[in-house]
């Protein structure tokens, strides 16, 4: 511990200090905890739906509440859990893995968190006041338009999109800038950990995918509130425009949830197979290829809409094509495991489950990528099964593995292995019991998003089985929460590198000090900690300790380029986020809120950027002209 650096970099104490925090680790943990709380809420919504469907003609939940439940479940899982939780892992780990003192634009990072929190809270508060969104997580017009969904429900939904996408876009910029400009000297692009590559690719996908949905949802809310006609067929608009815009975002969304998972897997497999990942260049190229192809698949969600047949064939081919980069990665991981010395700890169990579940989800993906089969299965439980196999297998299982793997770094304590394994098996079995029968239900014609079904349909048994699976998943989550709490309080203390891993986050104390690295390392290989038995051979010296100074390096080769003073904690990002919140929520009630709300926002943002005279003086003293 370096007390001078700690004093320079730590967040201020007290309530105001809490609202002013900008340390990337503090913000990331807030993101993780908040996203997990949304995960629990969305999970409870799912549990209610499963209880309702457990037997035919059940009356536990009525149709109106059921519509809200499935909309809140999907919306929360996609927008308020999956994307933020994965980006948050990047916010915590990327600066540590590249050997930096901070994330780039730390105040913007704090701002993004408050915006995300406000958007999510708004959506759920609306739900508890019976104004929960009820048109599905992709809210197609005309159903979501002003005529068929009067009231404020869809407006809250559309504004939640604006909140959550704004926050994700800002985080994407921070991650890109951190990866490109703040890597430790010597960490060339070809020495970057695969997890960092995964987060970089994800951030680029966010940059180009999310603007589409922000435009789409803004157009929807304008149709609803100020009388535009983007999706109104009667006045020259077109509901299918929504589908194109939504899925132009929505398909890349699947991959930008999936790709961080691939990064977790590469980190975990390398550590527990005790060797570098086989085929590093192929792995990196596969990630990039997945990102590109991910933008060329959106129409496969629209096979049931009236579109040219030739176009559909193109999208079928593209959908099949994306199996290739995924397969390359899976074979590289198998090769790594095959030739390594395996330690079967809980994180690795989750990764092995990924192979099983994701491959099953990929196989049903081939089924629904084919137009004639898709027309048969569209909007049935087959699709529900497919998407949960892909998303839970592809992202949630690796995420739990990652949580077990990095928990010691976050808290300084190990998770309990025994509870972890129990939770794993309950989750794995419960997941398959819940979702596997849905394939069959879909093929038997059970449509998704119905609040009940008649006894004569014969779907009762399989639905009951699925509900038993859902309850098992809920139990496994309960075990997880117990494990987190007890391990946080009484877990075995973790040293710097409890798994004997190779990447730089394990070179610092657990939990890391506010300044991350006493001295930034100089990197000479892809596995810096495996070279000299946990010793860092060379360090960076000459950075100021009494003011926040970071080293900026060049994009490709990570040569030292300049020293840059970094901003201190301040409350203005929080105030700005509250001004944005007032503007967004106000605009649901009157369009004038956009104009009047801009004034406090402009003031807050200006004060945020306005330098303090003493800080300027301090930095001018250290300044060196280029």
Partner 1 sequence: MSLDVSNLPSYRYGHHSLMWWGMMGLIAIEGTVFVMTVMAYFYLWSQAQSWPLSAAPPDLLWGTLNLLVLLASIYPNHWTKRVAEHGDERKMRIGLVVCGVFGLVLLAIRALEFTTLNVRWDTNAYGSVVWVLLGLHTVHLATDVYDTLALAALMFTGPQEGRRHVDVAENAMYWYFVVYSWIPIYAVLYWMPRLA
- Which spans of this chain sit near partner 1 (rule: CB under 8 A)? 104-105, 169, 172-173, 176-177, 180-182, 185, 207-208, 210-212, 214-215, 219, 222-223, 226-230, 232, 235-238, 241, 244-245, 248, 519, 522, 537-543, 549, 551-552, 554-555, 560-565, 602, 606, 609-611, 616, 619-620, 622-626
Cβ proximity to partner 1: between 176 and 474 the closer is: 176
Phi, psi of 447, rounded to the nearest 5 degrees:
-75, 150
Cβ proximity to partner 1: between 210 and 289 the closer is: 210
Cβ proximity to partner 1: between 172 and 283 the closer is: 172
Can you name the residues that pair with 549 across neighbouring β-strands?
565
Cβ proximity to partner 1: between 10 and 563 the closer is: 563
Q: Which two tokens stand for residue 277?
A: 């990942």
What's the closest the beta carbon of residue 597 comes to partner 1, in angstroms? 13
Triad 278, 280, 285: Cα angle to 5°: 130
What's the closest the beta carbon of residue 382 comes to partner 1, in angstroms? 30
What's the closest the beta carbon of residue 9 comes to partner 1, in angstroms? 18
| Distance from C-alpha of 357 to C-alpha of 78, rounded to nearest angstrom | 19
Cβ proximity to partner 1: between 175 and 494 the closer is: 175
What's the closest the beta carbon of residue 229 comes to partner 1, in angstroms? 4
Cβ proximity to partner 1: between 214 and 328 the closer is: 214
Q: Spell out the residues 6+ positions from residue 332 whose beta carbon is closer than 8 angstroms to its own.
A: 277, 278, 279, 282, 283
Cβ proximity to partner 1: between 298 and 406 the closer is: 298
Three-state SS annotation for 57-125: CCCCCCHHHHHHHHHHHHHHHHHHHHHHHHHHHHHHHHHHHCCCCCCCCHHHHHHHHHHHHHHHHHHHH
Q: Spell out the residues 6+ positions from residue 255 whose beta carbon is closer than 8 angstroms to its own.
A: 205, 290, 291, 294
What's the closest the beta carbon of residue 514 comes to partner 1, in angstroms? 20
What's the closest the beta carbon of residue 624 comes to partner 1, in angstroms? 5
User: If we measure between CA atoms, which residue out of 87, 80, 1, 99 comes closest to residue 38?
Assistant: 80
Q: Spell out the residues 6+ positions from residue 13 whose beta carbon is closer than 8 angstroms to its own.
A: none
What's the closest the beta carbon of residue 618 comes to partner 1, in angstroms? 10
Query: Scanning the structure block, which residue is given the tokens 């040219």?
Result: 308
What's the closest the beta carbon of residue 606 comes to partner 1, in angstroms? 6
Cβ proximity to partner 1: between 72 and 220 the closer is: 220
Q: Which two tokens stand for residue 258?
A: 């999936």
Give me the long-range contacts of 558-566 (CB less than 8 A, separation at least 24). Answer: 558/183, 558/184, 558/185, 558/186, 558/187, 558/188, 558/523, 559/185, 560/185, 561/181, 562/626, 563/622, 563/624, 565/619, 565/622, 566/101, 566/102, 566/106
User: If we measure between CA atoms, which residue out of 520, 501, 616 comes closest to residue 567?
Assistant: 616
What's the closest the beta carbon of residue 3 comes to partner 1, in angstroms? 20
What's the closest the beta carbon of residue 44 comes to partner 1, in angstroms? 34
Which residue intervals of 308-459 are DSSP H helices?
309-321, 323-339, 346-368, 371-377, 381-391, 397-411, 417-443
Cβ proximity to partner 1: between 232 and 463 the closer is: 232
Cβ proximity to partner 1: between 57 and 535 the closer is: 535
Give the number of other Cβ atoms within 10 Å of residue 19's Cβ.
18
């Amino acid at each position: 511990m370096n007390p001078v650096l700690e004093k320079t970099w730590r967040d201020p104490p007290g309530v105001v200090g809490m609202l002013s925090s900008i340390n990337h680790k503090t913000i990331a943990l807030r993101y993780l905890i908040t996203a997990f709380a949304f995960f629990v809420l969305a999970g409870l919504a799912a549990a209610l739906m499963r209880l309702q469907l457990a037997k035919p003609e059940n009356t536990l939940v009525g149709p109106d509440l059921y519509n809200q439940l499935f909309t809140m479940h999907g919306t929360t899982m996609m927008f308020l859990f999956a994307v933020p939780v994965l980006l948050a892992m990047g916010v915590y780990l990327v600066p540590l893995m590249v050997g930096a003192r901070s994330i780039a634009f730390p105040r913007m990072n704090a701002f993004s968190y408050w915006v995300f929190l406000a958007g999510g809270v708004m959506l759920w508060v609306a739900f508890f006041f019976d104004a929960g969104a009820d048109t599905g997580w992709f809210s197609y017009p005309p159903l979501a338009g002003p005529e068929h969904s009067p009231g404020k429900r869809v407006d809250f939904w559309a504004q939640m999109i604006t909140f959550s996408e704004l926050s994700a876009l800002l985080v994407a910029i921070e991650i890109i800038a951190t990866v490109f400009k703040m890597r430790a000297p010597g960490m060339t692009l070809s020495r970057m950990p695969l997890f960092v590559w995964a987060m970089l690719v994800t951030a680029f996908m966010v940059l180009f995918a999310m603007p589409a949905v922000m435009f789409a949802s803004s157009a929807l809310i304008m149709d609803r509130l100020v009388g535009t006609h983007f999706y109104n067929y009667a006045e020259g608009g077109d509901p299918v425009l929504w589908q194109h815009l939504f899925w132009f975002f929505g398909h890349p969304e699947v991959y930008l949830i999936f790709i961080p998972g691939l990064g977790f897997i590469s980190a975990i497999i390398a550590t527990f197979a005790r060797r570098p990942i086989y085929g590093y260049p192929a792995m990196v190229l596969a990630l990039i290829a997945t990102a590109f192809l991910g933008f060329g698949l959106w129409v496969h969600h629209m096979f049931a809409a009236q579109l040219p047949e030739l176009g559909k064939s193109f999208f079928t081919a593209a959908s099949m094509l994306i199996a290739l980069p995924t397969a390359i990665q899976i074979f590289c991981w198998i090769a790594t495991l095959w030739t390594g010395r395996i330690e079967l700890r809980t994180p690795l169990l989750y990764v092995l489950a990924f192979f099983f579940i994701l491959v099953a989800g990929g196989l049903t993906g081939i089924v629904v990528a084919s137009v004639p089969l898709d027309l048969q299965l569209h909007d049935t439980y087959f699709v529900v099964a497919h998407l949960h196999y892909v998303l839970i297998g592809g992202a949630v299982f690796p995420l739990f593995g990652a949580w077990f793997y990095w928990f010691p770094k976050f808290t300084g304590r190990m998770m309990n292995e025994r509870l972890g394994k129990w939770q794993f098996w309950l989750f794995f079995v419960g997941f398959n019991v819940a979702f596997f029968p849905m394939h069959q239900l879909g093929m038997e014609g059970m449509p998704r998003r119905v609040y009940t079904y008649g006894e004569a349909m014969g779907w009762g048994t399989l639905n009951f089985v699925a509900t038993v699976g859902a309850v098992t998943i809920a139990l496994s989550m309960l075990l997880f929460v117990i494990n987190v709490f007890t391990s946080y309080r009484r877990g075995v203390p973790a040293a710097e590198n409890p798994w004997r891993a190779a990447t730089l986050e394990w070179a610092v104390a657990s939990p890391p000090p506010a300044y991350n690295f006493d001295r930034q390392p100089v990197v000479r290989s892809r596995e810096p900690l495996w070279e000299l038995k946990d010793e860092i051979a060379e360090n960076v010296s000459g950075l100021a300790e009494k003011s926040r100074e970071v080293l900026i390096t060049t994009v490709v080769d990570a040569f030292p380029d300049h020293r840059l003073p970094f901003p201190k904690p301040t409350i203005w990002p929080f105030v700005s986020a509250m001004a944005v919140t007032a503007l967004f929520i106000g605009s649901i009630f009157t369009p004038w809120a956009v104009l009047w709300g801009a004034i406090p926002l402009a003031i807050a943002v200006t004060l945020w950027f306005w330098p303090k005279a003493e800080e300027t003086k301090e930095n001018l003293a250290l300044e060196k002209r280029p």
